Structure 1
């Protein structure tokens, strides 16, 4: 049996250290981490790698359920995939495991609460943006990456993985930016 840790934060300026420390303290032989939104599974390559690596009797550990996913259906699908491989999922805070029937119920409820919380946050954020726009003080979110630099590097033959490392973003973000640029140029032609 191998204990495999998975850590995730949503943005590149967030820190993974606390999650990594907790997973190491729990005896995880392998820990994979990524900096990407948990709103969907798209682009979460490290999570896919972890699930693919799981063998019967292995245990996937996360510090909190929202590190696994923000959508209840997504979380339950991930748990199901792990169980199809004969592995278990354990959440450290609060401590819940899928080794027993009660763990499944608790994970489902926690997933639903996390999803509701995310909806409430988005609603409050949207309301705040509307108020700021009405006052004329809203400027929009800041761009985290120089999109033109990413496109220039790509056009110079540098691969998406290398660009992602240079700029500090995910490979999927590089693909999105390059595709957006190509669509924009196609429309302009």
Structure 2
């Protein structure tokens, strides 16, 4: 009888712990059943609050995810079913993990991934290293793509004999294209021929 009473008190104390488990679920348009399935699994996991939304993984801003993170405090836990429910790539994942760890917040998935906060300094260092390694990998890849073009320039080639434009104008064309402007809009803003604009953008992707 005493054991049952102590066990009951222990369970009550567990429920009264001063931390929250907040869930986040995401699905793309028309995936109603999949979103509902995630929500049910997060409820079973004991999430006190669940934020959910229909949004593409590629969207830069996920409003409900941001709300979930803003509700978290020291010692709390963010729970998702899988990493790809919240993050579109490794870099985005590592950035968020570092932010959470620095605030002593756990991240856990239902398929086994988790970050502990008992040794937050160690964990934070590990994820910062991973983040920097990912940056290094991306920079190295970009440098390798630029090398053939750089060699041709150093050799004095005119990239097929087409008319040259200044590096400043090239960078302007690429920047405008990255900002979503059409080829014709770029021509109107810069006065550069469409054929030259296409060539600069194509070479920028090499």
**TM-score after normalising by structure 1:** 0.50
Give the Cα–Cα distance (whole angstroms) in 1 for the partners of residues 40 and 56 of structure 2.
Answer: 21
Whether 1:78 and 2:92 are equivalent positions in the alignment is no
State the superposition RMSD in angstroms: 2.8
What does residue 60 of structure 2 align with?
41
Structure 2, unaligned stretches of length 5 or more?
Answer: 1-18, 135-206
Higher RCO (C-alpha under 8 Å, 6+ residues apart):
1
Give how far 1:13 is off.
4.1
Give the Cα–Cα distance (whole angstroms) in 1 for the partners of residues 32 and 72 of structure 2.
Answer: 27
1:62 equivalent among 56, 66, 80 = 80
Secondary structure in structure 2 of the residue aligned to 1:90:
strand
What does residue 26 of structure 1 align with?
45
Q: Is the alpha carbon distance of 1:41 and 1:88 closer, same or farther for their aligned partners in structure 2, counting shifts above 3 Å?
A: farther
**TM-score after normalising by structure 2:** 0.46
What does residue 96 of structure 1 align with?
113
Q: Is the alpha carbon distance of 1:74 and 1:49 closer, same or farther for their aligned partners in structure 2, counting shifts above 3 Å?
A: same
Spell out, residue by residue over 1:134-184, the C-alpha distance to the aligned partner (whole angstroms, 9 max, x if none): xxxxxxxxxxxxxxxxxxxxxxxxxxxxxxxxxxxxxxxxxxxxxxxxxxx
1:8 equivalent among 23, 26, 31 = 26
Structure with max Cα Rg: 2
Give the Cα–Cα distance (whole angstroms) in 2 for the partners of residues 25 and 13 of structure 1.
Answer: 20
Structure 1, unaligned stretches of length 5 or more?
Answer: 113-189
Give the Cα–Cα distance (whole angstroms) in 2 for the partners of residues 79 and 40 of structure 1.
Answer: 19
Contact 1:8 1:33 in 2 (8 A): yes
Of residues 53-62 and 13-22 in structure 1, the stretch that sits farther from structure 2 once superposed is 13-22
